[in-house]
Structure 1
Amino acid sequence: MNATADGRCVSTAPLDLETIRRTAQEVIADGARIEQPDEIATIITLLRGVLELLIPEVETLTGRHPREHVPAICARACLGESRMRLRLGNGDTPAVRLSTAQRLARSALALADHYERLGEPS
């Protein structure tokens, strides 16, 4: 971990995009059912952590591209959506909890894609 100029801690370890994608895809798979409240709470917490890792990484990558760079524009929109999803509550019913987990998982997948696309040389 390293501290940024504004005092936030950022990871210097590479992101495990394969694990992030596999976890997210399991949550959004057709017919995914997670019945146990403890299990879904753990998954939601895990996915929130994934977004908290991906958001600053993707944000840094968007800053390396011109404002009119279309992939960076798309990534910025995804960043806003991901931040909004971080503010979602966990939900009071199993169906709402699963929906919350699936929304977080979709954001994680999208951010992982942007991370790869923006990290490639232009």
Structure 2
Amino acid sequence: MRNATTPAPAEAGRDPYRPDITTMRAAVRRLLADDAEPPSPEELDTLTLQLRGHIMVLIPQVEKATGRLPEDDVPRACAMACVGEARMRLSLEPGRGLPAGISHAQRLARSVNALADHLENLTP
């Protein structure tokens, strides 16, 4: 019997510390796709928490990826600006009502998307 913490054979080559970008982008699409339906208030709460968690996971990964680049490197500067904006968005609270909550979650989703793009561009 296989231990639950042992990676499945298909996942054996995958870095266990690398975020699951595919899952993160699925949450982003739920809010930003052209044909996205507005979420219910309960679903919005779940999505918002999920997106905040994704940002909290991505920020240190992007920072780590930029750490090996020179201080004056343009991709490094862009990634670090994205990190700063994501941190700022984490500190904000949504306004009152469903439309304000959706707008807040969409901003978080854009940060997740941008951080994921930077991580993919900065790591092999």
TM range (shorter): 0.7 to 0.9
Aligned to 2:24: 20
Answer with 1 or 2: which has the greater Rg: 2
1:102 is the counterpart of 2:90: no
Is the 2:29–2:36 contact (alpha carbons within 8 Å) kept by the matching residues of 1? Answer: no
Aligned to 2:73: 69
Amino acid at match of 1:81: E
Q: Per the alignment, do residues 31 and 88 of structure 1 end up closer, same or farther by CA in structure 2, a change over 3 Å counting?
A: farther
Matches within 5 A, 1:1-122: 13-30=17-34, 32-120=36-124
Distance 1:106 1:88 in 2: 14
Amino acid at match of 1:23: A
Is the 1:78–1:110 contact (alpha carbons within 8 Å) kept by the matching residues of 2? Answer: yes
SS of equivalent residue, structure 1 residue 22: helix
Q: TM-score, normalised by structure 1?
A: 0.83
Q: TM-score, normalised by structure 2?
A: 0.81
Amino acid at match of 1:119: T
Is the 1:75–1:114 contact (alpha carbons within 8 Å) kept by the matching residues of 2? Answer: yes
Identity, % of aligned positions:
46
Amino acid at match of 1:73: A
Aligned to 2:10: none
User: How many residues matched?
Assistant: 109
Moved more, 29-38 or 68-77: 29-38
Structure 1: segments with no counterpart, 5+ residues: 1-11
Deviation at 1:35, TM superposition (A): 4.3
Q: Per the alignment, do residues 21 and 108 of structure 1 end up closer, same or farther by CA in structure 2, a change over 3 Å counting?
A: same
Distance 2:96 2:35 in 1: 20
